Amino acid sequence: MERKLVKCITFFISLFWILGSYAQPNTTLSLEDSSQQMLDLSGYKWRFKMMAPGEGVKKGLHKLPAEDIETLVWNNAKVPGDVYTDLWKAGVIEDPHFGRNSVKAQWVQQYEWWYALQFSITEGIENQMVDLVFESVDYSCEVWLNGHYLGKHEGVFSPFSFNVNDYLRIHKWDFLKGRNMLVVKLDTPPQVNAFVAGKKTPWFGDYWRDITPIGIVGPVKLIRTGKIRFKDVYANNKINKDGSADVSLEITVENTNPVAKECSFEAVLNGKNFKMKEEKVVLKKTISPGTHKVIQKIHLKDAKLWWPWDLGDQNLYIAKIAIKDGKLNQDVNETTFGIRDVTSKWNPGFVKDVDVSFPRSTYINGKFHFIRSACWGGPPNIFVGRTEISDYKELIRLAKEMNMNNIRIFGWHPPEIPEFYRYCDEMGMTVWQDIIPLGTGNIPSDEKNLAEIFNEGVKVVVARRNHPSLIMMEGGEEMMFRTRDPKFGRQFLERLGDSLQAHVNLPYVPDSPMTDHVGQQAGFKPKEAVHALRYFYEMGRWLHEDWYQTNANGFPIVPEFAITSVPSVESLKKFIPENEMWPPGLSWGHHWADLTHLRMQNWDVFNSEMKGSLEEFVNATQDAQGIIFQNGIEHFRRDKPSLSGIALCHYITYGPDMKWAIVDNYRKPKNSYYFVQKAYQPLLVNFEFKKRRWDTKEAFIGNIWIINDFYKEYKDCKVKFEMKDDSGAVISTKNFEVSKIEENSAKSFFPINEKVLKTVKSKFFVNLELTDKLGKVISKNDYFFLIGDQKEATKYFNEWQKLRLKEENDNGSYGSYYHYFKEFTGEDGKRYESQIQNPRATGFENDKNN
């Protein structure tokens, strides 16, 4: 009896604590004291429940009484978050990232998921408007408040809201009478991406398996304003020739009153991260019922411009605007923005409408912005509930430290959360973005669905257009590669661009096109862009340095340059079962390890597959990825300014995998990170060479280049050139005088012709060092080369390609990995009992561990 009493008392104490905590912060402070008031409904306050499709409404979950405590025994949930993470934390499913558990979790997408939240309101809302705002739901949902149906929404990228004035329960002191029940039904997620193109992130591709994300993936808020309120503020600005700027605050305002109201708009402009004399303007305007646009203009005599980090300072302004009805604030808005001008120009050396269809050089405030980028491949985790805001800050910091000045969000990944762009603004990282994911290439053809896609794109760009980091818009990613009607696809992308540019003055290109026959059927020209993936996908056809010298020349931009690698052993242990770790087991394949390609990349770079141990193999794949990236990046950068940008594929990916990422899913940089860091130095001393394998009897030849992306001139510099053999002994050293390095330049300075290889056994090293006139090192670089026969190596590689293609053609290459494990696909039909019966089938038969 005593034990039951203790349990009962404990339960009610917990219940009262939970109920009471929801009453604060209030949604209804005096308008004299405050403006837009917000009750954040995010966090671990939610509960969720599984129901068969259609059964939740039949059972009455949408009509749960607000005072009821039934939902307290549902599973705990977090918003923003996702169903899979909530289930994992509740112990219902195993970690979908570990091993092949994602296959076991596929049942999740066959159900609808009901999320509920109880909260209390203690202050009245007279003469006010209260909206329930969802920033993002993936993908389709219906919403009820206190049993009242609010509506349905589809599309993950655009926020949506409902006015809830008539449905809120409010009581100042009785929390039960002021108790509210919010219920959200998440529909079963779509299973065919083409049907939801542009409105949901593709959940497939070569770094994910077939498990469709679902969840309330953005914050949920109750927002209270006066009856005249902001809908949007756009700080549209123009830089004048005299260094001044005109800022037009384009204010979209809604008057929910039945009659017109005379209001004053009071704007205060300050520097957010610099000091300035405060600018104030007041505009009086009569606002009729409905939604209208009001423009407040502010002239800045000495405008502080926003620049990428390698071109200048990241000056940010903050505008605070109040709508006043007499002395009362009806609403206030705080908008951060930067003043910068972005234009595009034709790349030199290309003929318009013969070689290319549109310009690909980006200029910021009149200065050429050579893009050193990598594809974001995000969000940081496909399961939003596993991502923290701090992850974004850390990843953007790492990107900047890797000498990237741009992040490309391409058409397989979603537009990012507000914090992503805020950190890019603050760190001077520009963003090149496909506005909505259209990676599938298969889109609906009826005007109703097309209009929904256009509308989704407009909402995305309007929500992000105040961020100065957003500098280039793109419509599609390799879209023509898959579209069933190339001409229609091109027309669709151009119409999308027209819709976007009506709302923001930024450069737009319709696609990052493949220059294959399908792209040319769509009207694209043969030199639009090079997707530098052929070395990987046609592995064995060329050694990597031969590939980019013979197949990747003469293009204005590189939207993708892709090489794969394996995460560190430390990271592998987090998602690969111990008994599948080494030799590689099936979970490697499930996480997209292409074992043959990885072995071949290693051999190309090291003249060895590097399979002596797990550590050796893993580190070699990362070094190979980095060296191929380094050599390719430097090759491309030497074409500046004809070539205006490079995007590696990828910087991160949204799950733990064995493929594209430079920083793995656990925020750990791979070895390749440091090779890219060298190659992306804004001021770069580098070595141009034609091959990596040399005979000991021939002279080692090449050229020393200096590339300068800074708008700064360097005079009286020196370059030190040094060669070392296998033992580390110096076999050649030279010093060169550089009288001037011009700003924004790429130039060959000194030829090298050294006959010093006769004592080298297997490999040798080249080190470069650039110092300024004070002797300070301002750029360093290094390489290693092999002793061997380039032609024989190519012949060997070509033969290996034939074997690889036969294996893949016989078994299916894209995403298929069973053929690495012969005992799994054997004709004897025996049940697969162990993880690795015959390691020889994987190509790791020479491992020391076997």
> What single string gives the DSSP state of each residue in 782-835?
EEEEEES-HHHHHHHHHHHHHHHHHHHHHH--TT--GGG-HHHH-TT-----SS
| Interval 111-126 mean pLDDT | 94
Arithmetic mean of pLDDT, 101-121: 96
Cα–Cα distance, 765 to 783 (Å, whole number): 6
Peptide bond into 80 cis (omega under 30): yes
Q: What percent of the chain has pLDDT over 90?
A: 77
- Map residue 121 onto helix, strand or coil: strand
Mean pLDDT of 446-451: 90
Looking at residue 546, the DSSP 8-state letter turns out to be: H
Work out the average pLDDT over 340-358.
95
Superfamily of domain 370-680 in the CATH hierarchy: Glycosidases (3.20.20.80)
Q: How big is the CA angle at 690 (ends 686 and 691), to the nearest 5 degrees?
A: 105
Q: Determine the pLDDT at residue 36.
A: 60
- 713 φ/ψ angles, rounded to the nearest 5 degrees: -95, 140
* Per-residue pLDDT at 147: 97
pLDDT of residue 631: 98
Q: Are residues 620 and 602 in contact, defined by beta-carbon separation less than 8 angstroms?
A: yes
100: number of Cβ within 10 Å: 17
What is the residue-averaged pLDDT of the chain? Answer: 90
Count, residues in the chain: 850
Residue range 247-266: mean pLDDT, rounded: 96
pLDDT classification of 146: cutoffs 50, 70, 90: very high
Q: What is the mean pLDDT of residues 696-720?
A: 98
Q: What dihedral angle (degrees, nearest 10) is formed by the CA atoms of 220, 225, 227, 231?
A: -60
- Burial level of 656, CB count in 10 A (0-12/13-18/19+)? buried
Q: Cα-flanking dihedrals φ and ψ of residue 277, to 5°?
A: -75, 125
3-state secondary structure of 457: helix
Contacts 24+ apart (CB under 8 A), 526-530: 526/355, 527/350, 527/355, 527/356, 527/554, 527/555, 527/556, 528/356, 528/357, 528/358, 528/555, 528/556, 529/360, 529/555, 529/556, 529/557, 529/558, 529/559, 530/555, 530/557, 530/558
Summarised one tens digit per residue, pLDDT across range 774-810 is: 999 999 999 999 999 999 999 999 999 999 998 888 7
Query: What are 838's two structure tokens?
Result: 């015959």
**Mean pLDDT to the nearest integer, 763-778:** 98
Amino acid at 698: E
Of 292, 160, 165, 159, nearest in space to 224 by CA? 165
Per-residue pLDDT, 77: 97
Is the pLDDT confidence value at 195 over 90? no
Question: Edge-to-edge strand order for the sheet containing 245-255?
Answer: 228-239, 245-255, 290-300
Confidence of residue 480 (pLDDT cuts 50, 70, 90): low
Cβ(653)–Cβ(661) under 8 Å? yes
Rg (CA), the chain: 30
Least confident span in 189-193, 330-334, 471-475? 189-193
Instruction: Give me the pLDDT at residue 846, please.
Output: 53
CB 630, CB 678: distance < 8 Å: yes
CA gap 738, 749 in Å, rounded: 8
**Which phi and psi (to 5°) does residue 230 adopt?**
-75, 140
- Taking the C-alpha atoms of residue 287 and residue 265, their distance in angstroms, rounded to an integer, is 11
Residue 299 has a pLDDT of: 96
The full set of domain ranges for the chain reads: 23-224, 228-337, 370-680, 685-790
In 621-762 the beta strands, taken as DSSP E runs, fall at 645-649, 683-688, 693-694, 700-708, 714-724, 730-741, 745-754
Closest CA to 432 of 443, 448, 416, 418: 416
Which CATH topology does 23-224 take?
Jelly Rolls (2.60.120)
Taking residue 697's Cβ as centre, other Cβ atoms within 10 Å add up to 8
| Tokens 């510099």 belong to residue | 717
Per-residue tokens: 136: 């993002």
pLDDT at 639 exceeding the cut of 80: yes
What residues pair up with 144 in beta bridges, in sequence order?
Answer: 149, 183
Tokens of 701: 């030849």
Q: How far is CA 566 from CA 13, 380, 600, 666, 783, in A?
A: 51, 18, 14, 13, 22
User: Could you give phi then psi for residue 318, rounded to 5 degrees?
Assistant: -130, 125
Query: Phi/psi zone of residue 554: left (φ > 0), alpha (ψ -120 to 50 degrees), beta?
Result: left
Q: How confident is the model at residue 174 (pLDDT cuts 50, 70, 90)?
A: confident
Give yes or no for a contact between 552 and 636, defined as CB atoms under 8 angstroms apart.
yes
- Give the whole-angstrom CA distance, residue 332 versus residue 253: 11
Band (327; pLDDT cuts 50, 70, 90): confident
**DSSP-derived 3-state class of residue 354:** coil
Bridge partners of 724? Answer: 730, 765
In degrees rounded to 5, what are phi and psi of residue 49?
A: -150, 145
Task: Kindly state the average pLDDT of the residues 600-609.
Answer: 97
pLDDT in tens, 483-509: 778 888 889 999 999 999 999 999 999
Where residue 412 falls among pLDDT bands split at 50, 70, 90? confident
- DSSP symbols for 151-206: EEEE-SSS-EEEE-TTT--B-SS-TTTTEEEEEEEEPPPPS-GGGGTTTS----ST
Q: How confident is the model over 744-753, as pLDDT tens digits?
A: 999 999 999 9
Six token digits for residue 518: 């399908």
- Is 535 or 838 the better-scoring residue by pLDDT? 535
Instruction: Retrieve residue 202's tokens.
Output: 């593709």
Residue 95 has pLDDT above 80, yes or no: yes
Residue 33, token pair as written in the block: 């004291």
Strand ranges across the sheet with 700-708 = 683-688, 700-708, 745-754
In angstroms, what CA-CA distances link 538 with 133, 166, 735? 49, 63, 41
Identical fold, 228-337 and 685-790: yes
Query: Per mean pLDDT, which range of 294-298, 553-557, 580-584, 811-815 is the poorest?
Result: 811-815
Q: What is the pLDDT of residue 14?
A: 39
- Whole-number pLDDT of residue 438: 85
Give CA 785 to chain center in angstroms: 35
- Mean predicted confidence (pLDDT) in 296-313: 97
> In the CATH hierarchy, which fold is given to the domain comprising 685-790?
Immunoglobulin-like (2.60.40)
User: Which of 2.60.40.10, 3.30.420.40, 1.10.3720.10, 3.40.50.1100 is the CATH number of 228-337?
Assistant: 2.60.40.10
How confident is the model at residue 553, as a pLDDT? 87
- pTM comes to 0.93
**CA–CA separation, 421 and 416 (whole Å):** 7
pLDDT of 538: 94
Does 589 score more than 70 pLDDT? yes
Q: What are the Cα distances from residue 816, in Å, to 99, 721, 810? A: 16, 47, 11
Cβ atoms within 10 Å of 54's Cβ, excluding its own: 10
**pLDDT bucket at 813, cuts 50 / 70 / 90:** low
Phi-psi region of 159 (alpha: psi -120 to 50; beta: other; left: phi over 0): beta
Give residue 227's pLDDT.
95
486, 513 Cβ separation under 8 angstroms: no
> Rounded to an integer, what distance in angstroms lies between the CA atom of residue 471 and that of residue 342?
6
418-444 mean pLDDT? 91
Task: Give residues with Cβ within 8 angstroms of 650, minimum separation 6.
Answer: 374, 375, 376, 377, 562, 660, 661, 662
Contacts of residue 108, defined as CB under 8 A and 6 or more positions apart, other chains included, come to: 83, 84, 87, 93, 211, 214
pLDDT of residue 26: 36
Residues contacting residue 632 through CB under 8 Å, at least 6 positions apart: 532, 544, 548, 552, 561
Evaluate whether 510 touches 497 at the Cβ level (below 8 Å).
yes
Report whether 506 contacts 497 (CB < 8 A): no
Tens of pLDDT along 2-52?
445 444 433 433 343 333 333 333 333 333 444 468 999 999 999 999 999
| CA 686 – CA 782 distance, rounded (Å) | 8
